[in-house]
Structure 1
Amino acid sequence: MSSMAAGGGEGEDELVTPGELLGDSSGLIAGTGAYVAPNGRSIRASLAGIRRITPPQSDAADQRSTVEVVGHKAQGAVPQPGSVVIARVTKVMARMASADIMCVESKAVREKFTGIIRQQDVRATEIDKVDMYLSFHPGDIIRALVLSLGDARAYYLSTAKNELGVVSAQSIAGATMVPISWTEMQCPLTGQVEKRKVAKVD
């Protein structure tokens, strides 16, 4: 028993930030607050906190230690690859849009997390014909899937499913628009139709 208590990886308790390298997947398993980068080797932190390494059980089939990040303060929700987020679009460019993540699943975030929707992640079909300016406008509220932690501390987001995309948008006249198809929303005041990548509503 004493050897198990002594092997708790106490020397590994260092503060890490999202995207920081935690180790290599050849010797470690990604636990809570960690994920394997797209290259399949690097394990990186998905939240800010303390790095912990836990040795495997002696009878475990996989004898790699588990690395995890434990939140160092009472934190709001943190985006993880695979989670669905609600975000507000802040800027639209020719090849991507940026957004501030407001909720993860149904929990509000306390820190500022930035999301990037790349042109190839807007929808599943006719990707080469996607026009970012006809998909999102600044101020739109979107539902998106977190793909991974991308460059410059921003999460890559996808709206390439029917249920993902714009869930709420203001028209030029200032009214909340009503979706009329998966590519269009209409202003109830003026009747004007604006293009969007609309999230399918049940």
Structure 2
Amino acid sequence: MAAARRYCVPGERLCSAAEAAAGSGTYTRRGAVCAALAGCLRRGGGAGGVPQVAVLRDAEAQLLPDVGAVVTCRVCSINSRFAKVHILYVGSTPLRSAFRGTIRREDIRATEKDKVVGVQMVPISWCEMQCPQTHTKDFRKVARVQPQFLQT
């Protein structure tokens, strides 16, 4: 009979740090080994005969962006402090569903950070916005169109 699989969620306490070492998909906090990923728990022998606990994602699970990963995003909105984006690709792998993210104004460029300026789009109809500098149009739902910007 095969052993039953145990599924873990991020932050779940798996065992004491004295019982086993933290493997991939886990971390140690306050003397306990905790899950860093959602996935299946795996126990095995580690280096030096110390048991090791790891959490593995299912093969069909959604790919998640990590800190430091190169991602491709679509900018959804810009204001004076940050840009809201939808993450579409992690590396060269497309995501099944987009993740939401925020990029601070200071993090847009490595140098000349004070030269970053976001131009606010202007509503021109109930379903279109236009950039006042480039005059490119984008289809979006508009709640209220001001009469001076309405196209005729």
After TM superposition, the score normalised by the length of structure 1 is 0.43
CA distance in structure 2 between the partners assigned to 1:64 and 1:119 by the alignment: 45
What code does the residue aligned with 2:106 have?
Answer: Q
The residue number in structure 1 matching 2:40 is: 51
The residue number in structure 2 matching 1:21 is: 11
The residue number in structure 1 matching 2:54 is: 67
Assess if the C-alpha contact under 8 Å between 1:79 and 1:85 holds in 2: yes
Q: Residues 63 and 108 of structure 1: is their aligned pair in 2 closer, same or farther, counting only changes over 3 Å?
A: same
Assess if the C-alpha contact under 8 Å between 1:76 and 1:107 holds in 2: no
CA distance in structure 1 between the partners assigned to 2:103 and 2:26 by the alignment: 20
How far residue 52 of structure 1 moved from its aligned partner, in angstroms, is: 1.4
Q: Residues 29 and 125 of structure 1: is their aligned pair in 2 closer, same or farther, counting only changes over 3 Å?
A: farther
How far residue 108 of structure 1 moved from its aligned partner, in angstroms, is: 0.7
1:167-191: per-residue Cα shift (whole Å, max 9, x none)? Answer: xxxx73339xxxxxxxxxxxxxxxx
Assess if the C-alpha contact under 8 Å between 1:92 and 1:132 holds in 2: no
Q: Residues 65 and 83 of structure 1: is their aligned pair in 2 closer, same or farther, counting only changes over 3 Å?
A: same
Identity of aligned residues (%): 22
Assess if the C-alpha contact under 8 Å between 1:83 and 1:105 holds in 2: yes
How far residue 105 of structure 1 moved from its aligned partner, in angstroms, is: 1.0
How far residue 70 of structure 1 moved from its aligned partner, in angstroms, is: 1.4
The residue number in structure 1 matching 2:90 is: 104
Assess if the C-alpha contact under 8 Å between 1:100 and 1:115 holds in 2: yes
Q: Which runs of 4+ in 1 moved over 6 A?
A: none
The residue number in structure 2 matching 1:133 is: 118
* Structure with larger RCO (C-alpha < 8 A, sep 6+): 1
CA distance in structure 2 between the partners assigned to 1:125 and 1:64 by the alignment: 47
What code does the residue aligned with 1:105 have?
Answer: G
Task: Determine whether 1:121 maps to 2:83.
Answer: no
Pair member with larger Rg: 2
What code does the residue aligned with 1:44 have?
Answer: A
The residue number in structure 2 matching 1:173 is: 135
Any unmatched runs of 5+ in structure 2? Answer: 122-132, 138-152
Any unmatched runs of 5+ in structure 1? Answer: 139-170, 176-202
Assess if the C-alpha contact under 8 Å between 1:91 and 1:99 holds in 2: yes
How far residue 90 of structure 1 moved from its aligned partner, in angstroms, is: 0.8
Assess if the C-alpha contact under 8 Å between 2:43 and 2:51 holds in 1: no
1:15-57: per-residue Cα shift (whole Å, max 9, x none)? Answer: 53xxx314489565352xx3769xxx97522xxx423132333
After TM superposition, the score normalised by the length of structure 2 is 0.54
Size of the aligned set, in residue pairs, is 118
Assess if the C-alpha contact under 8 Å between 1:119 and 1:130 holds in 2: no
CA RMSD, Structure 1 to Structure 2 (Å): 3.9
CA distance in structure 1 between the partners assigned to 2:49 and 2:83 by the alignment: 41
